[in-house]
Structure 1
Amino acid sequence: MKKLVLLSLTLFAFISFAEAQISAGVNLQSSETFVTLGTDPNKQIFGEARIGTGGDIGFEVMGAYNIVMKDDVNFYLGLGLGLDDDRNHKNDDDDDFYIAIPFGLLVTPFNSKNLGLVLEATPILATDHGDYFRAGFGFKYTFR
């Protein structure tokens, strides 16, 4: 577990130092709601830390690459590492690790390009509670 946390923090720190602005948001996913804090999503490569809220508290770190970058829409593909509370309570003492492969759109249809709508889908490859697919939408604000 220590190696995963250290790797996650190192990945996020590396992405954060790439001359990035800060973004914050809320993602309403099918599995849970995430509060997010990340680097500028309008850069070619960006990163994000997510805290899952609701019944189970989780933590996820994600790095992503903008495949398509237009004036008002970005399409990205990423890779994330996560730690989730024991979702199915199979092992009361164990937390579940997972790999996330998010892909999505960030749409900024407003005059101010700081506020955007996030549409995302993510296959989850989990260690303990089985693989699943989550999808949802959210809002992201970039502080420039």
Structure 2
Amino acid sequence: MTYLKSILFLLLFQACITQLANAQVTVGVYSNGILTQLAAGTDPDRKFFGEGRLFAGDYLNRYFGAEAIGQYNFYQSDWYNVSAGLMLGYYEFDDGARVGAPVLFAFKPISNHRAFAIMMEATPMYNGALGLRGNFGLRYTIGKK
């Protein structure tokens, strides 16, 4: 039985490594002037893509926060993408969860290097009260040809 488990583990491990070797992963940094977020996600040039974000605190803002975002590309071109989706987040400073609907504009300004994008985002949010957050950021897609 342990041989069967070992073989199954090795097959699953090989499948994961194969997928990761061919995957395109994005990394980014976003800021709204108060909070900075570090992000990692899936290929943003697919119709559906996702991203996870963590707050990068400093001396004044030492609180933990995390968000998971799912996006749908409504318009895609070589120069820019427009997407919208759903955001779920947890924030230590207000002891609660937030739900939002981010609208994202990604501009790819370098014609021979489309892996780099400048991001602008507006997110209406709700956590007991309505709010609006605007982010500006940079994103790079690793593995993009």
Q: How does the TM-score come out when normalised to structure 2?
A: 0.76
Corresponding residue for 2:10? none
Paired residues for 1:55-66 under 5 Å: 55=61, 56-66=63-73
Query: 1:81 aligned to 2:93?
Result: no
Amino acid at match of 2:73: N
8 A contact 1:98–1:124 mirrored in 2: yes
**What TM-score results when the alignment is normalised by the length of structure 1?**
0.76
Structure 2 counterpart of 1:101, which letter?
A
Runs of 4+ in 1 over 2 A off after TM superposition: none
For the pair shown, the structure with the greater C-alpha radius of gyration is 2
Aligned counterpart, 1:13: none
Structure 1: stretches of 5+ with no match in the other structure: 1-15, 88-94
Q: State the match for 1:12 in structure 2.
A: none
Residue aligned with 1:59, SS? strand
Spell out, residue by residue over 1:82-124, the C-alpha distance to the aligned partner (whole angstroms, 9 max, x if none).
000133xxxxxxx210101100111111120111100100011
Structure 2 residue identity aligned to 1:63: G
CA distance in 1, matches of 2:101, 2:33: 15
Q: How does 1:26-41 map to 2 (within 5 A)?
A: 26-41=29-44
Q: Offset of 1:53 from its aligned partner?
A: 2.2
Q: How many residues align?
A: 119
Name the counterpart of 1:141: 140
**Aligned-partner Cα distance in 1 for 2:98–2:27:** 23
Alpha-carbon distance in structure 2 between the residues aligned to 1:20 and 1:123: 31
Shift of residue 66 of structure 1?
0.3
1:31 Cα shift? 4.8
Following the alignment from structure 1 to structure 2, what is the Cα–Cα distance between the partners of residues 117 and 133? 20
Matched, 1:71 2:78: yes
- Name the SS for the 1:86 alignment partner: helix
**Conserved? CA contact 2:64–2:93, under 8 Å:** no
In structure 2, the gaps of 5 or more residues are 1-18
Larger helix proportion of the pair: 2
